[in-house]
Amino acid sequence: MTLVSMTAMLNKALEGRYAVGQFNLNNLEFTQAILLAAEAEQAPVILGVSEPYIPYMGGLKTISGMVRSLMEHYRISVPVALHLDHGSTYDVCIRALHAGFTSVMIDASHHDLEHNIGVTSRVTQAAHVLGASVEAELGRITGREDDLVVDEAEGMYAVSEDCVRLARETGVDCLAPALGSVHGPYRGQPKLGFKRMEEISRLTGLPLVLHGGSGLPDEEILQAISSGTAKINVNTDNQMACTATIRTYLQEHPNAYDPRNYLIPAREAIQASVQAKIRLFGSAGKA
């Protein structure tokens, strides 16, 4: 199957009350593992690429070519979207679309609402001409470099009225409202704004996106899905599965030197991690 946009898979997920996983690409092994996991589970899947990983993996065209070639090699039959995660500018979104990405996120959430609506509209117009989908963000999703504790997050929740305006004026396909989730490991108890999530879902009618899907208790994931979340982003949990496997292997085999000896088990660990998430999100068998 060729790459598709996220639109149909997310609308179907919202209607069926499950979520499609976005799993971030870190390298070749992550890409192989995620595609194989989706095929094994017969699940639609979104491959996310965040900006710092573009130069790391050799540029947008390399990534797009790698994904397409692996899909052909493994005869992947499930719907796959290749999505730019947290695109920071109009330019990077256009460059991703030009390189063959089928979806982009324009993250102008750190700008004021007018600016966010302006740039999101321009990206959406361009993406839709190409049949690609667009995700926007409102509020602030913190984590990693942001040294904020979870309890401070409530003040940065997305405002429902802003979400309605952004949805109406830009024509985006899905929306990531910041509601207390963070990227990377949680410091303290996660505190997600489910009531606000339900309200934004009801008022906008859009599939909602939950960033920072790692480290959340299963019940919170399920509650997010029943509150209108149709896309859940996961990276850290897969990175941890990968690195723990490599660490154990190298501790047990200090003289090992062939990368395949630790990267093959690492790839299997990533695949198992992704398959477990797909089952939790309810997207297994929904291809």
Cβ-based nearer residue to ligand 13P, 24 or 77: 24
Q: How far apart are the first and last CA of the chain?
A: 11
Residue 107 binds ligand 13P (CB under 6 A): no
- Nearest residue to 193 (alpha-carbon basis) of 156, 237, 234, 162: 156
Angle at which helix 218-226 crosses helix 259-281, to 10 degrees, equals 50
Residue selected from 21, 79, 213, 282 as contacting ligand 13P according to rule CB under 6 A: 213
Residue 179 binds ligand 13P (CB under 6 A): no
Residue selected from 102, 121, 214, 229 as contacting ligand 13P according to rule CB under 6 A: 214
Minimum separation from the CB atom of position 181 to ligand 13P (A): 8
Binding window for ligand 13P (CB under 6 A); candidates: 11-19, 205-213, 248-256, 268-276: 205-213
* Beta strand 20-24 pairing with 45-50: parallel
Residue 183 binds ligand 13P (CB under 6 A): yes
Indicate the Cα dihedral angle 118, 122, 123, 125, nearest 10°: 130
Helix (H, G, I), strand (E, B) or coil at 196: helix
Residue 220 binds ligand 13P (CB under 6 A): no
Say which DSSP state 156 is in: G
Q: What are phi and psi of 145, to 5 degrees?
A: -70, -25
> Would you state the structure tokens that stand for residue 123, as one six-digit string?
């990206």
Cβ-based nearer residue to ligand 13P, 41 or 85: 85
Asked whether the beta carbons of 233 and 196 are under 8 A apart, the reply is: no
Helices (H), the chain: 7-16, 28-41, 53-56, 60-73, 90-98, 113-129, 160-170, 194-204, 218-226, 236-252, 259-281
Asked whether the beta carbons of 201 and 160 are under 8 A apart, the reply is: no
Residue 24 binds ligand 13P (CB under 6 A): yes
Region 230-259 residues binding ligand 13P, contact defined as CB under 6 A: 233-237
Residue 109 binds ligand 13P (CB under 6 A): no
- Nearest residue to 132 (alpha-carbon basis) of 176, 88, 83, 86: 83
Minimum separation from the CB atom of position 258 to ligand 13P (A): 29
Asked whether the beta carbons of 158 and 139 are under 8 A apart, the reply is: yes
Minimum separation from the CB atom of position 287 to ligand 13P (A): 22
Minimum separation from the CB atom of position 264 to ligand 13P (A): 23
Residue 190 binds ligand 13P (CB under 6 A): no
Total number of residues binding ligand 13P (CB under 6 A)? 14
Helix (H, G, I), strand (E, B) or coil at 255: coil
**Among this protein's residues, is 218 annotated catalytic?**
no
Residue selected from 171, 184, 190, 265 as contacting ligand 13P according to rule CB under 6 A: 184
Minimum separation from the CB atom of position 73 to ligand 13P (A): 26
Binding window for ligand 13P (CB under 6 A); candidates: 131-139, 153-161, 163-171, 229-237: 229-237
Give the integer Cα–Cα distance in Å for 65 and 68.
Answer: 5
Residue 211 binds ligand 13P (CB under 6 A): yes
Residue 38 binds ligand 13P (CB under 6 A): no
Question: Which spans of this chain sit near ligand 13P (rule: CB under 6 A)?
Answer: 24, 48, 85, 183-184, 211-214, 233-237
